[in-house]
Amino acid sequence: MTRPDYAAAAEILRENDRGAYTVPTKGLYPFQWNWDSCLTALGLAALDEDRAFTEIETLFAHQWPDGMVPHIVFHVDDDGYFPGADVWNTAPILGLATPTSGITQPPVAGFALARLMQRSADPAAFADRARVLAGAIDRWHDWFFRCRDPEGQGLVAILHPWESGRDNSIDWDTAFERVPTDGIAPYTRRDTQHADPEHRPTKDQYDRYLWLVEHFRSMGWDNTRLHDASPFRVVDPGFNGILIRSCADLAELADRLDLPEIAARNRDRAARATTALEALWDEGHGQYLCLDRVTGDLIGSASVGGILPAFATLPPARSAALAARVDALAGQVQFTVPSHDPADPRFDPLRYWRGPVWLIVNYLIADGLRAAGHESTAERIRHDSLRLITTGGFAEYYGPRDGTPCGGGRFTWTAAMVIEFLRKAA
Ligand code: DGY
């Protein structure tokens, strides 16, 4: 039994601190990950505000010239992870000083920076650093709408399941069938040496992950071409909900920092995307669904990605329906919020994003629902999240039926979210 207390969580953050960035966990993920870092910064701020800003600054120091912020920064050599820097090969192709991956991840940075500033004991002391970061985050948001919404539909597409953060979600299964596997270079997975293979994506999924990486690499990582050239182009409501929240929060922060153009641009992006999100609502499932941008069809898969827009400010009827959806799911499992609907025959309680509960997702949903006035649902999520630590320790993710700890252990963002939940901010 592990106590979900501040001291235990802080110890994990310190253990995974590499000076100017944190690793998600020792062994399995030995570099800096994009959304891990930004969410971890919230927990770090409770220990050391200056260090929390550094975490996000280190990530943005590796922003690409086109504005993209990569999902991994390979600060060190470590052959314990696959696919490593040599597979992505971005440094030689783009002339980067430090190798990175070539895809992005859910844009939580705008939200995280705004929250750091809102809570800071001395915001004036961090204002200059926040201004620089606000400019960089604005460039990233601009990149999304330029490169991932080239026809100006208002929502952005992901081109690789890893970009969603929800790597092997059932959401991607049908679209993924279009991704071939022929011709990929032979490889050895490393993740299954650190974590139970039954909790990880399958070999068939890895082959397709790799095909996409090799395809994009063969096009020189040119983001003006990748969107139209990818056989996998999915509009994920969760990803877009996060982007909407980050645009809105960045706009508010920019107002306070006296950056009116950044404020206006991001307010406009959030408003347009919120309107466009309506097209992803599915009354039958009582939640949002992904849209396959290649076929133009909604994907009939009731995952937590369709509940995650609760993190953004939505029309009240939508927030209320999502709160009701969480309450209904809570009736089917011991621990909310499962990453997929347990009533779906494809639900798999311990396999990564096909069923397990993730504390970061719980935090984002609870934060939005609380702001929208759904206090009891938010509180249930918070309570379940802390109970998971008691039963399973600071794991990467958990089985929703019995709290089985899965994936990597002593996980950084899980610890950061515990610090957040203990503040009762979400
Ligand atoms: C992995 O390697 O499992 C990551 O989720 C990809 O970023």
Domains, the chain, in order of start with CATH, read 3-425 (1.50.10.10)
Give me ligand 1 centre to Cα 163, in Å.
9
**Ligand 1 in reach of 191 Cβ (< 6 A):** yes
Give me ligand 1 centre to Cα 122, in Å.
36
Q: What is the structure's pLDDT at 1?
A: 75
Q: What is the structure's pLDDT at 424?
A: 67
Active-site positions read: 167, 396
Which stretches in the chain have pLDDT values below 70? 424-426
**Ligand 1 in reach of 162 Cβ (< 6 A):** yes
Tell which one of 87, 167, 188, 206 to mutate to probe ligand 1, the residue whose CB is within 8 A of the most ligand atoms: 167
**Ligand 1 in reach of 396 Cβ (< 6 A):** no
Instruction: Write out the chain in H/E/C secondary structure.
Output: CCCCCHHHHHHHHHHCECCCCECCECCCECCEEHHHHHHHHHHHHHHCHHHHHHHHHHHHCCCCCCCCCCCEECCCCCCCCCCCHHHHCHHHHHCCCCCECCCCCCCCHHHHHHHHHHHCCCHHHHHHHHHHHHHHHHHHHHHHHHHCCCCCCCCCCECCHHHHCCCCCHHHHHHHCCCCCCCCCCCCCCHHHHCCHHHCCCHHHHHHHHHHHHHHHHCCCCCCCHHHHCCCCEECHHHHHHHHHHHHHHHHHHHHCCCHHHHHHHHHHHHHHHHHHHHHEECCCCEECCEECCCCEECCCCEHHHCHHHHCCCCHHHHHHHHHHHHHHHCCCCCCCCCECCCCCCCCCCCCCCCCECHHHHHHHHHHHHHCCCHHHHHHHHHHHHHHHHHHCCCCEECCCCCCEECCCCCHHHHHHHHHHHHCCC
Residue 292's φ and ψ, nearest 5 degrees, are: -85, 110
Give me ligand 1 centre to Cα 284, in Å.
32
**Ligand 1 in reach of 163 Cβ (< 6 A):** no
